[in-house]
Amino acid sequence: MNRIFSGVQPTGNLHLGNYLGAIRNWVRLQADYDCIFCVVDMHAITLWQDPAQLRAHVREVAAAFIASGIDPEKHILFNQSMVPAHAELAWIFNCVARMGWLNRMTQFKDKAGKNRENASVGLFAYPNLMAADILLYKATHVPVGEDQKQHLELTRDVAQKFNNDYKVDFFPIVEPLIFGAATRVMSLRDGSKKMSKSDESDYSRINMTDDADAIALKIRKAKTDPEPLPESTAGLERRPEAANLIGIYAGLSDSGVDEVCRRFAGSPFSEFKKELADLAVAVLSPIQDEMRRLMKDQTQIDSVLRQGAERAAAVAAPIVREVKEIVGYLRP
Ligand code: TYM
């Protein structure tokens, strides 16, 4: 059976990149896979989070999943910290993965910045926890945006080394699923930076909670160049901001970049931006309405997460039991 695992960090400012690069693809994959979707709160605290905000953000991400079309009855939706086996397996992987592997992770370098000595140990070991998330359920496929590719390569290395070290054929070698026209949505202010929850400028991203006016304003203010829109993908070379906005349009309208170029060939950005804003509002507003409705009933969201966690724990239990046996822990 092919199984999907994927997750989103509850660090606030859930944005269009998370939706187009990940969540929307998950919704579609539900038809063909057995899916586990996780709000990864243990990953979130690798950078300090205000505790009350963290709880609110966990619920907000869960509401966004459901509002986008994740079915928590057919599939599993839960938050990571409710299943302690994630931490247990992550520890074992801390002992399998090599310092050199983690030293090469570009996300650590970006997030730690210049002051690496002051970064948390958790931030450094983060990819091992991610490998544990996936392999705890022996997931075979992981749908993510492009920025997670390197972490998934590390997950494959960890699985392979564990299998070699213990002479077993236990963990699967996972396949990333990176698809759609918007696998890397860029900042609206700078076409060379990815759209990110942590960008200081709110104008850099479209948040899942932005209202229609905010969406239109941010798109109107988005950086562009003075040329009109090109006729084809080739004309987007060295025009990162234009490529980004067209990519977003293609993602939202479920069409190809070339098709969008053909439709808007020669148009000025002012015109294209109006159409893009209308499209973004049309796609996002029903999701936002549903998110708001769900968030009114906190106990309902908490109960979905708790039930999801119980089901996730049940899937993980025999796998962790076997891992502990393989490693040589005494049976409790
Ligand atoms: P996170 O929370 O940063 O992002 C969640 C998902 O959104 C995708 N994404 C983007 N896609 C396109 N354009 C963007 N600008 C953009 N920004 C984010 C991400 O690729 C991701 O799919 N480490 C992960 C969370 C995680 C995880 C896992 C994922 C923890 N354990 C196990 C898969 C499997 C992260 O920080 O995602």
Average pLDDT, the chain: 97
First to last CA, the chain: 30
Q: Does some domain include residue 196?
A: no
Tell me: the pLDDT tens digits for 30-55?
Answer: 999 999 999 999 999 999 999 999 99
301, 156: one domain = yes
Share of the chain above pLDDT 90, in %: 98
**Average pLDDT score over residue span 257-282:** 97
| pLDDT the model gives residue 1 | 73
Q: Is the CB of 308 under 6 A from ligand 1?
A: no
**Average pLDDT score over residue span 311-319:** 98
Q: Does some domain include residue 183?
A: no
Q: Does some domain include residue 44?
A: yes
Euclidean distance between CA atoms 300 and 99, whole angstroms: 42
Tell me: the pLDDT tens digits for 191-200?
Answer: 999 999 999 9
CA of 21 relative to ligand 1 center, distance in Å = 8
166, 286: one domain = no
263, 231: one domain = yes
pLDDT band at 189 (very low <50, low <70, confident <90, very high): very high
265, 311: one domain = no
**pTM, two decimal places:** 0.97
Q: Does some domain include residue 318?
A: yes
Tell me: the pLDDT tens digits for 135-170?
Answer: 999 999 999 999 999 999 999 999 999 999 999 999
CA of 184 relative to ligand 1 center, distance in Å = 10
Tell me: the pLDDT tens digits for 96-106?
Answer: 999 999 999 99
CA of 326 relative to ligand 1 center, distance in Å = 31
- Which residues is 3 bridged to in the sheet? 34
Query: What CATH number did the domain enclosing 53 receive?
Result: 3.40.50.620
147, 19: one domain = yes
Q: Does some domain include residue 184?
A: no
- Which atom belonging to ligand 1 lies closest to the Cα atom of 43? 30
46, 8: one domain = yes
104: Cβ–Cβ under 8 A, 6 or more apart, which residues? 150
Residues 5 and 43 sit within 8 Å (Cβ to Cβ)? no
**What is the extent of the structural domain holding 273?**
202-293
123, 32: one domain = yes
Q: Which residue has the tokens 């953000």?
A: 57
96, 139: one domain = yes
Q: Is the CB of 127 under 6 A from ligand 1?
A: no
- What residue's CA is closest to ligand 1, atom 36? 9
CA of 196 relative to ligand 1 center, distance in Å = 10
Tell me: the pLDDT tens digits for 213-227?
Answer: 999 999 999 999 999
146, 213: one domain = no
170, 261: one domain = no
Query: What CATH number did the domain enclosing 283 receive?
Result: 1.10.240.10
- Which atom belonging to ligand 1 lies closest to the Cα atom of 139? 34
302, 275: one domain = no
- What residue's CA is closest to ligand 1, atom 5? 8
Tell me: the pLDDT tens digits for 113-130?
Answer: 999 999 999 999 999 999
Euclidean distance between CA atoms 139 and 330, whole angstroms: 26
**Given strand 175-177, what is the order of strands in its sheet?**
76-79, 34-39, 3-8, 141-143, 175-177
Our count of domains for the chain comes to 2
Q: Does some domain include residue 197?
A: no
Q: Does some domain include residue 191?
A: no
Euclidean distance between CA atoms 60 and 292, whole angstroms: 9
Q: Does some domain include residue 185?
A: no
| Residue positions annotated with a catalytic role | 111, 194, 197
121, 249: one domain = no
- What residue's CA is closest to ligand 1, atom 9? 18
Q: Is the CB of 6 under 6 A from ligand 1?
A: yes
H or E segment and range at residue 121:
helix 121-135
